[in-house]
Structure 1
Amino acid sequence: MEESPQLKIGFIGAGNMAYGIAKGILRSGDVIASNVTVSAPSENNFPRFRAMGVAVTHSNEAVLRGSRLVFLAVKPHLISPVLSLLSEHVTPQHVIVSVAAGVTIATLEKLLPGGSCVMRLMPNLPCMLQEGALLLASGAGVKQEVASQLKSLLSPCGLVEVGPESWIDAHTGLSGSGVAFVYVFAEALAEGAVKMGMPSALAQRFAAQTILGAGYLLRDGEKHPAQLKAEVCTPGGTTIYGLHALEKGGIRAAAMGAVQAATERARELGDSKTV
C-alpha cells in the first residue's frame, strides 16, 4: 500500500465500527480526511462522517474505484450481495478488510477474484472511543508488510494485534461480547452499593470509575491479575470477604463459561455463512 498521507481509504458501510475505525485513522494525522470515502444506502449516519471532513456517497462502486484500502463494514448477511456487485471491479492493488463477524476469509476469497488481498478485522464497541481491542487476520495473498502497515494505521483505535484467523472467534467471545459481560458486572456492583444505602446514580458512577481504573492498572502495568488482586487484599479485611462471596457465587466459572459460549456461537455463525 502507499504511505499513509497518500493512501486512499474507503468504507462500505457507515455504522459504529466504520465510524470508530475512521475516527482513529484520522486522529493520527497520518491520513488526509479528503482521502477517505464512506458509502451507505441511507443518509442517517453521514453527518458524523462529514464532520470529520470525510466524503460520503451512496455508491459502493465509487468507494471501491476510488480507494486502495477498503473496509467492508456491513452486516454479515449483506457481504455476499455487496461483493456480488463489486467483485468484477476488485483489482490486485486493492486491500479488502472485512469487519463482518462470522464471515471467514475463505468465504471472502470465494466471493472475490482469485489472488485478492483479503483480511479480517474484529474490533469491539470501545473502538468508537479509541479504546478498542482489535484483532487482524490475513489471507494467504497478504504480504507481511501490508499487515504491519495496517496494524500501524489502526493503532490509534486501541490495542491492535495480528494473529491467525483461528483466534477470531475467541476474540469475539472475549473482547466483543466481553464488553456486555463487563456491563453486567458494573450493574451488579452498583446495585450492591444501592442495597447498602448509596444513591443509584452515584453508585453507577463509582462502579464505572472503579472498572476504568482497574483496567488501566491491568493494561499499563506488568503484573498478572492475580498479583494485582493480592495487593488489594489484607488479612481479615473487606476485600477477601468480598472475594469469598464472589467465589461462592461461581464468578470465575461463570465468566469462563460466558466467553466459551460466545466463542462457540461465533463459530456456529461462521459455519452457517459459507458460500
Structure 2
Amino acid sequence: MRILISTALVGTLLAACSISGGSSGEPVPTTVSRNTPAVGWGCVGDFCGISYELGGANLANLPKNGNLDYGQFGGAGSSSGEMLFASETLDSTVALIRDDMEGTGVIYSRLDRTVLPLGEVYYSGDYVGLVTNTGNGNVVFIINGAAALDVDFAGGDVYGGISGRTVLGPTGDAAIGVTSDDVVFWGPINSQGLFSGVTSGGDINALSVTDAQAGTFDGLIAGLTGDEVVGGLDFVHSRTGDDYLETGAFFLQD
C-alpha cells in the first residue's frame, strides 16, 4: 500500500541529530533529527511546508510534485529550493528535507508505544536520497532504491542495505543511465528499538564520482507490534576537486 504525505505535522525535534524519548522500559514515542533544524512538516491540499519553529510557524509553500514520488514516499518542491520526501503511517513518520539555506537532513518519529518482537525479523521497503555538491549545496542526483533490514532482537544487532539504486537527475523526472552500487549498513540495536552504525558502498559511476566513503545510519522500530522501521543515512562521494554528500531516508515494514 502506498502512503502519501498527510496533513499532520510531525512532533517536536530538539536539535540536529537529537533524540527525544524514554531510555528504559517499553519503547515510547521518540523523534530523531539528522542534520536539519526543521521541527516538522505538513501538507494541505496540493501544497506542503517545512516548519522551523515550534507550533508550526514558518511553513514554506511547496507544491506536490509527482516526479518526486517514490514507493511509500510522496514528494514536494523542486531542485531550485526546498524539497520534501515524506512518508507517514498511524505509527511512524519519516521525511527527507532539503533547504537551500539550511542544507539536507532527515527527521523521523515513532508516534506511539511499541512492543519489540522476539528473535529475528526481516523488514523491506523504500529508500530515497539526495546527492548534493558540498561546495554549493546544489542537488546533483536523486537516488531511489529498495531498502532491507534484518534485525536480531535477541542478539542486539541489525544488518541491511539499499539495493537496486536508480540514479535520477535533479528534477527526478527520468533515470539518466548512471549506475550506483549497493549500500550496506550494520550496527547495534538497544532495548528502546533505536539502532545506529556505519555504512559501506554506494559508489556512483558518473562524473568520476566512484569513491563512496564510509558513512553513518540510524533508525528506530515503530508500530504497535514492531512491524515498521524508519531512519536515515548519509555518506560522502569523493572525487578529485569535489565532494558530494548523499543524504537519504528509508521506510520499511515486516
Question: TM-score, normalised on structure 2?
Answer: 0.27
Rg comparison, structure with higher value = 1
- Structure with a larger share of its residues in strand: 2
Question: TM-score, normalised on structure 1?
Answer: 0.26
- Structure with a larger share of its residues in helix: 1
